[in-house]
Amino acid sequence: MKTFWDERYQQEDYAYGTEPNQFFKECISQLPAGKLLLPAEGEGRNAVYAAQKDWSVTAFDQSKSGKTKAILLADQKGVDIIYDVLDIANMPYPSEKFDAAALIYVHFPDYVRQEYHRKIVDKIKPGGSLILEAFSKNNLVYRQANPSVGGPDQLSLLFDVAEIKTDFPDFLWNIAEETEILLDEGIFHKGKASVVRFFGTKK
Ligand SMILES: C[S@@+](CC[C@H](N)C(=O)[O-])C[C@H]1O[C@@H](n2cnc3c(N)ncnc32)[C@H](O)[C@@H]1O
């Protein structure tokens, strides 16, 4: 899979565009700027946006090509971000370091998903926030009708609301929903999609 992402990010265009994810943008604007963790951040669209809004951003991804594009975008926008190339299995950050974390279209294999989600929760301070948007299990139908909408083609990689609530039991949710949206993010997220959206506070 690492090769898949490296190859995708070696194209000149930004796979999901250079603008932040809309839900991320809406949620982050409701929080005071602080320390933000962005796991599996790809080409850095959300990291760069948050840095422009005065967040102190630590992003990481397994893809070296993702980092190259993210740093290029940060330079173009005149902001600094920390961007580490690593696998989440080896995430080195201290517990409870971050005021917020955001998982935007991060679909881990089901045999490690809960473990990886717990690792991310550990890095968020009590009272800190989590923002999550990802494809729902119902997106398979949308993807069949329009492959340009993207997302995993295996049910086990997709989410439903109950599953996320189980993975993140120590959160109070302001938003916890499955909804249909119109995606317009770069080349690979285009069209009607079914997603889950979560925005909440760690108890
Ligand atoms: C669909 S992309 C989303 C990128 C970014 N969050 C965004 O919204 O633009 C999924 C990303 O997850 C990363 N990823 C998947 N498994 C990972 C792992 N175990 N450790 C670190 N990154 C991972 C991939 O390299 C890829 O960049």
User: Are 19 and 49 in contact, with CB atoms under 8 Å apart?
Assistant: yes
**What's the CA angle centered on 91, arms 109 and 17, to 5 degrees?**
65
- Cα–Cα–Cα angle for 48, 16, 61, nearest 5°? 60
How much is the pLDDT for 43? 98
Res 1: pLDDT = 76
The protein residue with its alpha carbon nearest to ligand 1, atom 12, reads: 40
Please, are residues 28 and 48 in contact by the beta-carbon 8 Å criterion?
A: no
pTM above 0.95, yes or no: yes
Share of residues in the chain with pLDDT > 90 (%): 99
How far apart, in Å, are the Cα atoms of 24 and each of 8, 133, 153, 180?
22, 8, 24, 16
What would the pLDDT profile of 33-81 be if each residue is shown by its tens digit?
Answer: 999 999 999 999 999 999 999 999 999 999 999 999 999 999 999 999 9
Query: Ligand 1: which residues within 6 Å by Cβ?
Result: 5, 16, 21, 40-42, 45, 61-63, 66, 87-88, 104-106
E-assigned strands of 7-97?
Answer: 35-38, 56-61, 82-85
Domains of the chain, CATH where assigned: 2-202 (3.40.50.150)
What is the residue whose two structure tokens read 């250079």?
18
Atom 13 of ligand 1: nearest residue by CA position: 40
Q: How far is the CA of 171 from the centre of ligand 1 (A)?
A: 23
Q: What is the mean pLDDT of residues 175-185?
A: 98
Q: State the distance from the centre of ligand 1 to the C-alpha of 106, rounded, in angstroms.
A: 6
Give me ligand 1 centre to Cα 7, in Å.
Answer: 13
